[in-house]
Structure 1
């Protein structure tokens, strides 16, 4: 699971540092670059609901193998000077990550039900490490390998290694034909307020994360930060996420109410964006640390909610499909909005105000989704909400 988790962020974070080079080489407009950063996040959402369907027919293990194969091919395909192939590969990479990210919480709930929240922190830490490697090594790899295309293509090797390890080390049984009542999907998830609260929380905090992945180096360069330093700042921010990603679920499990921890982490995100986009140069490094701690912890905790708010692995799979499907479609609006603002030459203050509004929205949703509640099924197989045990 950790090896797989390492692959779920480099496809996104490795693109941002070389966006300026891609834009210059291919003659892309700011709106086209915005679409390029939005497309993988949108595909995360569009293809996430496909994961439960594939899992029921192929099994979770084969579904993840298929997603890793698609990811390796997509990362190799997008390393092209053809605009069409660049966009196609980027979209397919988002689809592969959407499927993988949806089935991982289900695996955790199934394999480690008692320690699911802590294991979620561990593989989220792997996600953050992969994101840090993608952001920090993108420019050095481009310089060493002779171009941004070779830098982007190199990440397909990591996906191939994960696929090989997953096939060798994890059994791949076909799903059973006999379905027990507790294994059958429930009805009416879209009518559950709790499911929508978790979904929109995931969408809003993910929007902030993908804005950072897609646009932070570009925004910093507009504040007269050099290309290499901007990539390094993003890499440090993502690397810092390792610590809060692991610590946040552990701290949150000390109580059944996750609201205080979510509010603290989202406040750090807001402080980080202020320091980077509005503060003086001396606040850049404290800003990226605050941003990293906030984003790593809030993302890890949002994923942990998929487990904590589900009574069994089947419900976790359905909630994961909805949350990461609809949530990532909502998240895709963030990078697109920033791209449009830059296309119309918006100021850094206007961009910062947009980010602040998203932070406030996430905090309001955290007050609802962080309560001690759990999704379960009644005797008729319909979703109900009860207090967690």
Structure 2
């Protein structure tokens, strides 16, 4: 293999290694929440907060990542985050009740850094293949998330919930070493600081940035409402808990296919068609659950494909609409901060609405409203209408 071929391959491998670390530490928690509560005497409210804490960490830390990146570069910042993630996993599992909360907060904060910077690195290293590279690393994220959830209970049965959650420190430590080796051959901090001079305006005052944020927030909220409440919604249709659990797994796995396929619907000059397709699939699946619940598996597959496609669309938009690494980092941080804050609130609001009305139909209507909003935003943000960025005189 030539040196020219090894360069892109090494860059892709580095991105995928980081992607492997971004979800298992969270998805492994849900299946063993009961064990954690029984061991530490935590009630359902506290356990619910424990599950939501990483999302709140995403929301709090994401807007700050561009400052870290400007100072230490993307590679250096990610190396520190990966090391912090390993430390957080160890603290969460092995330092008692206080460590459970502290470690979970550290995990949320460090994963937020990876969430924000991976789209930046994809834009930098794969400028001509942003959508395809984004689809691939999103598939890795989704696959590792599913594995994290699938092995949690078997590992807890072998040992305890502490082993189930703590075991992830071992493979992630290997990723830390691999990323450290990458930082030795790449020094990008100065370049990113220099490019920061090209972006004077804050992304928080950019209409395009708010559209990207809206798309991210709406798709993330729909996803987390589905993964939180889909088994309960199916239970109201008479579906058994066992079958509903399988359906939830299917929903997440077909999302991988949606994420891998949606780049082929993106045009270089417009992503409107892809945004519309991804969103219509979510809306069609949601509407199908309302009007023909007997075909629940069909609607879950359709909504799942749309959800995976929408995630890749939102991440691709962060890379495509950011004109420099600095601007892309700020845009990614803004979109993911608000997006995950909405994602943390969405399942709570959906549950309160269902409890107040005694039916899950209003929640499905709410999801349809989210899809309608996402469709409007996707059409608006699908074409970049901003003037080219000019270097200040």
When normalised by structure 2's length, the TM-score is 0.83
Residue among 380, 389, 392 paired with 1:368: 380
Contact persistence 1:17–1:139 (CA under 8 A): yes
Structure 2 residue runs of 5 or longer lacking an equivalent are: 1-14
Contact persistence 1:271–1:290 (CA under 8 A): yes
Using the alignment, how far apart are the partners of 1:379 and 1:100 within structure 2? Answer: 29
1:290 aligns with 2:302: yes
**Which residue is 1:130 aligned to?**
144
Contact persistence 1:206–1:331 (CA under 8 A): yes
1:269 aligns with 2:268: no
Offset at residue 62 of structure 1 (A): 1.4
The verdict on how the C-alpha distance between 1:178 and 1:274 changes in structure 2, with shifts beyond 3 A counting, is closer
The verdict on how the C-alpha distance between 1:84 and 1:55 changes in structure 2, with shifts beyond 3 A counting, is same
Residue among 147, 171, 178 paired with 1:158: 171
Contact persistence 2:211–2:377 (CA under 8 A): yes
The verdict on how the C-alpha distance between 1:179 and 1:260 changes in structure 2, with shifts beyond 3 A counting, is closer
1:8 aligns with 2:22: yes
Using the alignment, how far apart are the partners of 2:129 and 2:304 within structure 1? Answer: 25
Secondary structure of 2:334 counterpart: helix
Using the alignment, how far apart are the partners of 1:304 and 1:367 within structure 2? Answer: 15
**Which residue is 1:209 aligned to?**
223
Please show how residues 77-116 of structure 1 align to structure 2 within 5 Å. Answer: 77-79=91-93, 84-116=98-130
- The C-alpha deviation readout for 1:69-103, integer Å capped at 9, x for no partner, is 22222233334795544333332222111111111
Contact persistence 1:13–1:213 (CA under 8 A): no
1:71 aligns with 2:85: yes
Using the alignment, how far apart are the partners of 2:96 and 2:350 within structure 1? Answer: 25
**Which residue is 2:210 aligned to?**
196
Using the alignment, how far apart are the partners of 1:152 and 1:279 within structure 2? Answer: 39
Structure 1 residue runs of 5 or longer lacking an equivalent are: 382-389
Please show how residues 1-389 of structure 1 align to structure 2 within 5 Å. Answer: 1-22=15-36, 28-79=42-93, 84-143=98-157, 145-170=158-183, 171-173=185-187, 175-176=189-190, 180=194, 184-217=198-231, 220=234, 229-253=243-267, 256-273=269-286, 280=293, 283-341=295-353, 346-374=358-386, 376-378=388-390, 380=392
The verdict on how the C-alpha distance between 1:176 and 1:299 changes in structure 2, with shifts beyond 3 A counting, is same
Contact persistence 1:16–1:214 (CA under 8 A): no
RMSD of Structure 2 on Structure 1 (CA): 3.1
Using the alignment, how far apart are the partners of 2:39 and 2:353 within structure 1? Answer: 22
Using the alignment, how far apart are the partners of 1:131 and 1:23 within structure 2? Answer: 22
Offset at residue 235 of structure 1 (A): 2.6
The verdict on how the C-alpha distance between 1:139 and 1:208 changes in structure 2, with shifts beyond 3 A counting, is farther
The verdict on how the C-alpha distance between 1:196 and 1:275 changes in structure 2, with shifts beyond 3 A counting, is same
Offset at residue 177 of structure 1 (A): 8.2
Using the alignment, how far apart are the partners of 2:237 and 2:42 within structure 1? Answer: 21
Contact persistence 1:34–1:338 (CA under 8 A): no
Higher helix share: 2
Contact persistence 1:52–1:318 (CA under 8 A): yes
Using the alignment, how far apart are the partners of 2:34 and 2:233 within structure 1? Answer: 11
Using the alignment, how far apart are the partners of 1:60 and 1:147 within structure 2? Answer: 36
